[in-house]
Chain A
Amino acid sequence: MTREISLRLNGREEKFTIDDADTLLEVLRDRFKLWSVREGCGVGACGTCTVLLDGKPVSSCFLLAARAADHEIVTLEGLGDGGTLHYIQEAFVSQRALQCAYCTPGFVLSVKAMLDEIANPSDDDVREYLSGNLCRCAGYADILRAVRVAQDKKKSLSPSP
């Protein structure tokens, strides 16, 4: 069965036909060629395919595209202004928080969601929040530093209360 859905994807309204069995991951890759979204496990356990759904991190491999209808989806391609790196990305670069980097898009988006949700995450908060994103190069120490740098940058950008 097919159906037509609408959603907001990286800031643009999109309307298209899907198969009921399509996962959000399949739609984002096959139709929209958003290569930052990658399948790692197919069961929502590794975080490699993370996208933001209304600002919250979800595993797009484990979410039917139909469930994303009428929601806002952001992939890594939609982060920042498209020209320069987002400050979270900059932090990942400056802290060398990537090696093979297959997990990086998912991590960057999870960090974005975490910092939007928790202004001052403790080390335990970070470990808990990011434990759904797996890195087999195990660069967790570098990613932790990147989180701290991004967090400081975010604070310096937001107007003081």
Chain B
Amino acid sequence: MANFAVVGQSVFRKDASQKVTGQVLHVGNIEMPGMLHVAVLRSPYAHARITRIDKTKAEAVKGVAVVLTGADIAKMPGVDPHFGPAFRDQPILAVEKVCYIGDPVVAVAAQDRRRAEDALELVEVEYEPLSPVLDVLEAIKPGSTLVHEQHRPAKAFADLAHVKSGQQSNICYHFKLRTGDVDKAFAEADRVFEDTFSSPPAQHMPMEPHVTLVYLDEGQRINIWTASQTPSYVRTEIANTFGVPMNRIRVRIPYLGGGYGAKLYAKLEPLVTALALVTKKPVRYALTREEEFLTITKHKVITKIKSAIKNGVITARKCEVFWDTGAYAEIGPRVVHKSGYTSAGPYRIPNVWIDSYCVYTNHVPAGAFRGFGVPQVIWAYDSQTDTIARAIGADPVEFRLKHALNEGETFATGTPVKSFGIKQAVREAADAIEWSKPRQKHSGTKLRGKGIAAGVKAVLTPSISGAIVIMNADGTVNVLSSTVEMGQGSETMMGQIVAEELGVSFDQVHVVQPDTDITPYDTITAGSRSTYHMGNAVRMAAGKVKAELFQVVSKKLEVNPDDLAAAGGRIFVRGTEERGMTISEAFLAKFGSLGTTLTGEAICQPEAIPMDPETGQSEKCTEYWFPSATSAEVEVDTETGRVKILQFFSVGDTGTAINPKHCEQQLLGSAITHLGLTLFEEMIFDEGQLVNGSLLDYQIASFKDLPESFQPIIVEVPHETGPFGAKGVGETGTLTVSSAVANAIEDAAGVRIRDLPITPEKVLRALSQRQANRG
């Protein structure tokens, strides 16, 4: 690998000192004179028509500024009362009907939260219950009750341009992939494996719940401070919803207390904007944890997967994937599409048939969750791949390596894969856990086993990242980017790339936080796309500044600009370092004045070739892939069903690791989070009513879930067009955790769990079933 000064170094994040003292700015710390606080009345019905709302008593409560309903919003001139990134199906407040238990119906803004809550109790709402749609497989049947009578595409993103106004159905999006002849392969197969796997709805649980503050400034511009992963999208959504020009809206994002996909697209912003417009006062709405549970979830998924085996290889795979997207589509169609096309795995399978359905139900809306649906599809395909290997007597590691795509081979979409370190990742994971070593399996009632899993995610393509780099005359740099720092270390990544490109130290680069008045458009901070897309954008923008400086220096020194290099804060002739000048001297030479700046702007906009709507084929469906492998050793207690993780290795192909320590943190942290999702996390619904919607009843991975032994492992297969060869890493660690654990359990105890989470009850039931079958 080339020799870099800053890239590849594990520099320390600059935000650490303000974070470790707790003085970091969050939206919740911002207070404004006369600021109002919000409480929201939510639907007690999964599906019902609103027949009457009486808010007169609530309006009379002292300190209440406004009591707002969906009907009030619909009457605001020029306002579209619905929003959403794929379909404009989500009302700011319910209009005419409610679609899930927890759907916002009435909002109160008052001088404090307690008063707002008191006023809510005086609001009278009458409903006429409708039959709810609560099962994804029932919802797709013809004649099912419809959650929405019409589907209105939002047209916000190029990659969702194919989303259509649907017919009378709860299926709001259907992705299809067809390659080869699946029927023939099944007919000719030696063996056919058919399974159904499921993953439950779950919570993102950023420790900072959603919070948004909106005020009108002196010029009556809409100012929004919000905990969001999508500043540019929020501005567009508010512009479209309220019929306001884009430059009359300013969206600012301070540090986020976690996001994990929960804070994408618009959440509280439309409602708080409506309240601020009506009251002409600053309004802040901070969700309680209980409301957080009712705002966005990880998709519940049911996957039916069928594979054909001939002469020891997988010759065909048919996947039917059903995604419960809840009451509003949110970003469901994108999740269903992007994850859908990877449903057969990173394997060489000549005949593939995939149907991936995005289905409305009367549940809490589901959206993007770290991994964007791919953990759910890998749970199915890699669990099944493991069962096949074991059933035909193949070594699970060798079986994966035998099927894994080589560089340049085509994915099921017809896209040749590039920078595809899947085999390296599998080998690293296997070596780390000493796969080939004979194992001690039994110790009384505790059975030990090892499991490995492999999978891949493709980055969302097309998408756009713009950046501006401003170099100051003293050699310091300001980077303007709309990438949101939510803990992942994006500021550090951008700082390192810009420092490398301009030949200055990391300390000299300041990354400006997202502010739509000054930072350019970025599609989204999500999907493991920022290092590649924003990394390229800031590098190219810095490159433009460097080119200008080289012009100045080349004239001054009478050399060819191509012979110049930048390093250590100087620009000099390559090979003869003493011939050159400092950046400050170059600025002075150009401008003759102090305190000047040079600016470069660039946009990274990788394109995809749209997939054929009937076959899902495309010569280029994605800009890059990020392969993942996990290996785990577990101990299954046959008396309690408890699964203990003894050893755990999270392996990811990150491309060049810009900051290796930060990459390791992403790989391990996301994997440990997913251990919770694997072993116990589940939002439980009863007739549409969430029954464990608080942190007292819903557990996430804590210190006690840290495995006894663990290690993140980076595989670096550089990408030819990544910044310095980098790809992405934010989600990689999530992808293969669940199937690695399930595969290890089968290795240990001979039972296969197909429904997440893998609770002790399920393990015990499987063990006793196995005992019974043996008779």
Contact = CB atoms under 8 A, between A and B. Distances in A.
Contacts of A143: 703
A48 B208 CA distance: 9
Nearest to B676: A138
B597 interface: no
A104 B289 contact: no
B20 A85 contact: yes
Interface of B: 12-13, 15-17, 19-24, 26, 28-29, 114, 204-209, 255-260, 286, 288-290, 486-489, 661-662, 665, 668-673, 694-696, 700-706, 710
A96 B13 contact: yes
B255 A42 contact: no
Nearest to B673: A138
A77 interface: yes
Interface string A96-115: 10111111110010000000
Contacts of A98: 16, 19-20, 487
Contacts of A37: 22
A77 B702 CA distance: 25
6 residue pairs, one from A and one from B, having the closest CB atoms: A36-B22, A102-B257, A100-B487, A99-B487, A101-B19, A138-B672
Interface residues of A, number: 48
Which residue among B21, B700, B710 has the maximum number of chain A CB atoms within 10 Å of its CB? B21
Contact of A136 (B205, B671, B705, B710): B205
Contacts of B258: 100, 102, 136-137
B26 A35 contact: yes
Contacts of B668: 138, 141
A130 B704 CA distance: 8
A72 to B, nearest CB: 19
Contacts of B661: 96
Contacts of A130: 703
Nearest to A103: B207
A10 interface: no
A94 to B, nearest CB: 8
A131 B290 contact: no
A76 B489 CA distance: 23
Contact of B12 (A42, A93, A126, A134): A93
24 contacts: A36-B21, A36-B23, A37-B22, A39-B286, A40-B209, A42-B289, A43-B695, A77-B21, A92-B16, A98-B16, A99-B489, A99-B669, A100-B258, A101-B257, A102-B258, A134-B695, A134-B702, A136-B673, A138-B668, A138-B670, A138-B673, A140-B706, A144-B703, A144-B706
A45 B695 contact: yes
Query: SS class of chain A's interface: helix, strand, loop or mixed?
Result: loop
Interface string A24-61: 00000000000111111111011010000000000000
Contacts of B671: 138
Contacts of B24: 101
Contacts of B701: 138, 140
B487 to A, nearest CB: 3
B20 A133 contact: no
Nearest to B207: A102
A21 B668 CA distance: 41
B262 to A, nearest CB: 10
B730 to A, nearest CB: 11
Contact of A77 (B22, B260, B670): B22
